Amino acid sequence: MNVFIKRLLFLLGVVLVLLLARFTYHRLALQREKASINPPVGQNGAVNGYKISVFVKGQGSQTLVFLSGAGTASPILDFKDVYDGFSKEYKIVVVERAGYGYSEDTSTSSDVSVILSETRQSLAKSTSIRSIYYSFSFDGLLRDASMTRKTTQVK
């Protein structure tokens, strides 16, 4: 057999062994890390058969609802610097849509009406739906849709 082919097969074998070792280490590390992951920050409420995480902080008479844009890993953690300042005077609510943060993933439709309905159901369980909404990116579209459908709920 050609020396080049022997070396190539040896190198391929070494790479496969290293990949297998790395995969095994990764799986073991995931098991160890599972116990050290922080518990969810918000409260989990069931909406349409899966858990939606809602964070509530503060005791004010007015409620500020923070809604994130698409692609935000954890809205509760991302908005922390913003809502900490407001929580002394207002009640703060942060809703994590399905698939974001500590909320469960879902395979249901994620069009505007479904997301709006799920957000309303989550808010109804934790606060008055009539609130001041702070939203950006995709959730700005949800806020606009909410205003056209239920103008009494949005300030």
Strands 50-57 and 43-47, sheet pairing? antiparallel
Same-domain pairing of 69 and 100: yes
Q: What is the pTM of this model?
A: 0.65
Beta-carbon count within 10 A of 72 CB = 20
Domain containing 74 equals 43-153
Which residues, other chains included, contact 102 with Cβ-Cβ below 8 Å and sequence gap of 6+? 40, 41, 42, 44, 51, 53, 74, 76, 96
The CATH number of the domain holding residue 119 is 3.40.50.1820
Task: Going residue by residue through the chain, which has 155 residues, state the pLDDT in tens, using 9 for 90 and above.
Answer: 699 999 999 999 999 999 999 999 999 998 888 776 776 677 777 777 788 888 888 888 888 888 887 777 888 888 888 888 888 899 898 888 887 888 888 777 777 777 777 777 877 776 665 677 777 776 666 666 666 665 555 55
Same-domain pairing of 117 and 54: yes
Burial (CB count <10 Å: 0-12, 13-18, 19+), residue 118 = buried
**Per-residue buried b or exposed e for 123-153, using 16+ beta carbons within 10 Å of the residue's own CB:** beebbebebebbbeebbeebbeebeeeeeee
Same-domain pairing of 56 and 126: yes
Q: How many separate domains does the chain show?
A: 2
Alpha-carbon span 144 to 151, nearest angstrom: 10
Same-domain pairing of 20 and 77: no
Same-domain pairing of 79 and 118: yes
CA torsion sign for 102, 105, 110, 113 is negative
